[in-house]
Amino acid sequence: MSEFEKEEKIKAGLEAKFPGAVTNALVQRKNRVWLDAAGEKLPEILAWMKAGGFNHLATVTGFDEGENLGAYYHMTDTKIIVTLKVKTPRANPSIPSVLSVFPGAVSYEKELEDMLGIKVQGLPPGRRYPLAEDFPVGQYPLRKDWKTEDYLAQQPSLKTETK
Amino acid sequence: MKTIDKLITWSLLKSPWILHFNSGACNGCDIEIVDALTPKYDVERFGIVLKATPRHADILVVSGPVTRQQAKRLRTIYDQMPEPKFVMAIGACGCSGGVFDGCYGVVPGGLDQVLPVSVYIPGCPVRPEAIIDGVVKMIQSVEAAAK
Amino acid sequence: MSKITIPFGPQHPALKEPENFMLVLEGEQITSAGINLGYNHRGMEKAAEGRTYIQNLYLIERVCGICSHSHTTTYITNVEELAKAEVPQRALAIRTLFAELERVHSHLLWLGVAGYEMGFETLFMYTWRDREQVLDCLELLSGNRVHYSINTLGGVRRDITAEQKAEVLKRIKYLEERTQYYIKLATQEPTVLARTANVGKLPYDVAIERGAVGPTARASGVARDVRKDDPYLLYAQLDFNLITHNTNDVFGRLVVRALELVESYKIINQVLNNLPEGPVAVKVPMKVAPGECVNHYEAPRGEDIHYLKSNGTDKPERLKVRAPTLANLQSVAYMLEGGWLADVPLVIAAIDPCMSCTDRAAVWNPKKGKTEVYSWEEMRKLGIEQYKRRGVDFSRL
């Protein structure tokens, strides 16, 4: 029996409520739980967690895993951090938006779209974030095959005429 | 030298007004610039005042590596300043890109890729004494050129 | 009356960093506010993947100059967790000392900036003059006023001598007296109260829903502080209070930060008077075994969270940084709506933004039922035509 009772309870609760959608759950250490979550069920899982005290979505990390693109949702009740890893295939990456549960997550979802090219279903249109307006569309800096040196070599010099 | 030029040079030397522009800095240099205005260093005794609009400023004080998003806006601000005008590149980022050299979000090479720079002040962040020294050196060179 | 949208930022005297707020105004009242960010985007997370863990210490420090220690400490805590390093207690104590010194300098800075935004320039000059005491302490202990770089992989770079400790304690004592004066000023001065009470209202449930953190959330009654909830460094052993307030406005944020200063002095005194003996660093191999971890830290502005994934080499696989201001900005739009234009700089300054727009003006014409966007040239032409109709010709300017 692990010494981390609260964490084990949370892990067990999630596994019981969402069988099949929550897999590979692990209590890493005190106050840290990690698990894989199915993308389609994501808003439902987050809503259930929010009602149970995990009402702070700290941030979302996007990561290029190779065959898949990952979006890791770090949820916390400020004591325990539960990280839900959602994977989506690189060929057609898409995850549902969680704005209905966390309206403050708009910047995090825009970042997933801009930096990794994951389409977030239900994200309202608007100015891109965080990349510059003149950054080429279709290039995703956080993907492993995108190299800074190649991008910088393509850029025209910004040296302007002095008045 | 015409009287109007003499008047302009005199007011520039006696009381240079600055506009501060943050072009993607981490704020280390920004707080040291603002620090130069506070009682310990007090540049207001030299006539230096922080202005709100480029149209009132003599010197454009730029901190940070120039991010691509800011480069156009920085150029617009510079064009809005009346002549004679000067540009000070504050900190290692302004001089050469600093620790951000090689990042895709910044213009490679520092501030002088986007604007003509009059004074470079190194440091990460700069010390307020270095900023005062830079302004003094610039004023001395303007004085020498005016003679 | 048509509504007009004006851009606030990225170049604005009230903003020390570039961000842009699109304020839709009806007269002087704000009906809605939109936020545009990205002016400060340098591409650090990508750059971090190409630098070693030690090189990244200096890169991550420069995410923010005001809370640089927060970022390096969270980052290095992640690396040390993955490398399974046992950091000595003395190093943790020195890190805690720097963390609280940073909180003091940051809150005093904020008090000054808030005073400046209110028009209370004397408060600005007083607090920044007193802040020099803290900067002198930091320079004495680390060698630099800003970007102290005290952390290294496995501990801290420098030790504290007895003379340095005495010097710091002396200056903190001076600051304790000055802070009592600021607290009295903040709570009793009528002009401060008039400018801050009921401005920038953020109710408890909106604060939670929008993910507010730090003093912004604590002023709305949200009792959250990572130092108390998920203690790191030495906080589990220290005696200090979690400060909250219940007025949900800028005044509450002012009070919370002023009282947090008092708590920080308490912590600094406890740490310095009970410094554990021992080495200040342990040797940690440069290559870190594969793994991932996430850690958070209570920066002066709120919860700072970092995620790190390692891959067995001496360079990280993925480093993610979420600074507290990004979490607080979503609440700013709520706070601005329904308020007055004159309060905008103060409300934005009240979240203590640690993060810029010569966009065009968008005019919504209710008669035509659509929004037209005017460029600078078009606006100028519009102005000239309007005045020509009144008999004044500005076209030669």
| Per-residue pLDDT reduced to its tens digit, C102-131 | 999 999 998 888 888 888 888 899 999 999
pLDDT higher for A70 or C8?
Answer: A70
**Is the Cβ of C50 closer than 8 Å to some Cβ of chain A?**
yes
Ramachandran bin of B84, using left for φ above 0, alpha for ψ from -120 to 50, beta for the remaining angles? beta
- Give B38's pLDDT tier (boundaries 50, 70, 90): confident
pLDDT of residue C12: 64
Residue of A nearest to C326 (CA): A107
pLDDT of residue A162: 39
Torsion sign over Cα A73, C38, A140, A117: positive
**Would C396 be classed as within a structural domain?**
no
pLDDT higher for C22 or C311?
Answer: C311
Shared domain for C188 and C68, answered yes or no, is: yes
Chain A contact set for B113 (CB, 8 A): 157-159
pLDDT of residue C363: 40
Asked if C39 and B34 come within 8 Å (Cβ–Cβ), the reply is no
**Is the Cβ of C290 closer than 8 Å to some Cβ of chain A?**
no
Per-residue pLDDT at B23 exceeds 90: no
Shared domain for C236 and C157, answered yes or no, is: yes
Percent of chain B surpassing pLDDT 90: 14
- Give C76's pLDDT tier (boundaries 50, 70, 90): very high
CA distances from B117 to B105, B120, C126, C355 (A): 21, 7, 34, 25
- Give A73's pLDDT tier (boundaries 50, 70, 90): very high
Strand partners for C293: C308
Residue of B nearest to A148 (CA): B104
Distance between C32 CA and the closest CA of chain A, angstroms: 15
Least confident segment among B34-43, B48-57, B76-85, C13-22: C13-22
| Average pLDDT of the segment spanning C170-190 | 90
Residue of B nearest to C124 (CA): B38
Shared domain for C231 and C210, answered yes or no, is: yes
Q: How many alpha carbons fall within 13 Å on the CB side of residue C319?
A: 28
Asked if C307 and A72 come within 8 Å (Cβ–Cβ), the reply is yes
CB A116, CB A69: distance < 8 Å: yes
Chain B contacts to C (CB-CB under 8 A)? 21-32, 34-35, 38-40, 50-54, 65, 67, 69-70, 73, 76-77, 98-100, 102-106, 124-125, 127
| Average pLDDT of the segment spanning C240-268 | 92
Shared domain for C14 and C116, answered yes or no, is: no
Percent of chain C surpassing pLDDT 90: 45
Interface test with C, best of B21, B22, B104 (most C CBs within 10 A): B22
pLDDT higher for C317 or B52?
Answer: C317
**Would C395 be classed as within a structural domain?**
no
| Average pLDDT of the segment spanning A116-144 | 84
Fold designation for A5-154: Beta Polymerase; domain 2 (3.30.460)
Per-residue pLDDT at C304 exceeds 70: yes
Per-residue pLDDT at C93 exceeds 80: yes
Asked if C230 and A81 come within 8 Å (Cβ–Cβ), the reply is yes
pLDDT of residue C81: 93
**What is the number of structural domains in chain B?**
1
Per-residue pLDDT at C16 exceeds 90: no
- Give A110's pLDDT tier (boundaries 50, 70, 90): confident
Asked if A107 and C211 come within 8 Å (Cβ–Cβ), the reply is no
Per-residue pLDDT at A137 exceeds 60: yes
Cα A83 from Cα A33, distance rounded (Å): 6
**Would C58 be classed as within a structural domain?**
yes
pLDDT of residue C103: 94
Residue B82: count of CB within 10 angstroms of its CB: 11
Shared domain for C71 and C158, answered yes or no, is: yes
pLDDT of residue C210: 85
**Would C156 be classed as within a structural domain?**
yes
DSSP tag of B21? E
**Is the Cβ of A161 closer than 8 Å to some Cβ of chain B?**
no
Residue finishing a domain among C324, C345, C363: C324
Q: What is the CATH number of the domain that holds B142?
A: 3.40.50.12280
pLDDT of residue B60: 92
Domain assignment of residue B118, given as a range: 3-146
Question: For the whole model, what pTM was predicted?
Answer: 0.86
| Average pLDDT of the segment spanning C173-186 | 91
Least confident segment among B121-130, C294-303, C327-336: C327-336
Shared domain for C197 and C62, answered yes or no, is: yes
Q: What are phi and psi of C119, to 5 degrees?
A: 95, 5
What is the ipTM, given to two decimal places?
Answer: 0.89
Chain B contact set for C146 (CB, 8 A): 28, 31-32, 125
**Would C319 be classed as within a structural domain?**
yes
Q: How many alpha carbons fall within 13 Å on the CB side of residue A112?
A: 28
Shared domain for C318 and C342, answered yes or no, is: no
- Give C15's pLDDT tier (boundaries 50, 70, 90): low
Distance between C322 CA and the closest CA of chain A, angstroms: 7
**Would C68 be classed as within a structural domain?**
yes
**Would C44 be classed as within a structural domain?**
no
Per-residue pLDDT at C354 exceeds 70: no
Most confident of B52-66, C39-53, C231-245: C231-245
- Give C95's pLDDT tier (boundaries 50, 70, 90): very high
Q: What are phi and psi of C375, to 5 degrees?
A: -85, 170
Shared domain for C187 and C287, answered yes or no, is: yes
Asked if C209 and A56 come within 8 Å (Cβ–Cβ), the reply is no
Chain C contact set for A58 (CB, 8 A): 211, 296, 303, 305, 322, 327
| Average pLDDT of the segment spanning B114-137 | 90
| Per-residue pLDDT reduced to its tens digit, C145-166 | 988 889 999 999 999 999 999 9
| Average pLDDT of the segment spanning A17-43 | 89
Distance between B95 CA and the closest CA of chain A, angstroms: 15
Size of interface A-B (CB pairs under 8 A): 30
Per-residue pLDDT at C350 exceeds 60: yes
| Average pLDDT of the segment spanning A147-156 | 79
pLDDT of residue C13: 61
Residue of C nearest to B69 (CA): C39
Most confident of B40-44, B61-65, C170-174: C170-174
Asked if C307 and A79 come within 8 Å (Cβ–Cβ), the reply is no
| Average pLDDT of the segment spanning A92-102 | 91
CA distances from C353 to A80, C9, C110, C256 (A): 26, 13, 9, 16
pLDDT of residue C375: 47
Cα B64 from Cα B91, distance rounded (Å): 7
Among C125, C147, C358, select the one facing B28 at the smallest CB separation: C147
Shared domain for C30 and C111, answered yes or no, is: no
Mean pLDDT estimate for chain C: 83
**What is the number of structural domains in chain C?**
2
Mean pLDDT estimate for chain A: 85
Per-residue pLDDT at C273 exceeds 90: yes
Strand partners for C298: C303
Shared domain for C129 and C187, answered yes or no, is: yes
Domain assignment of residue C35, given as a range: 3-39+332-389
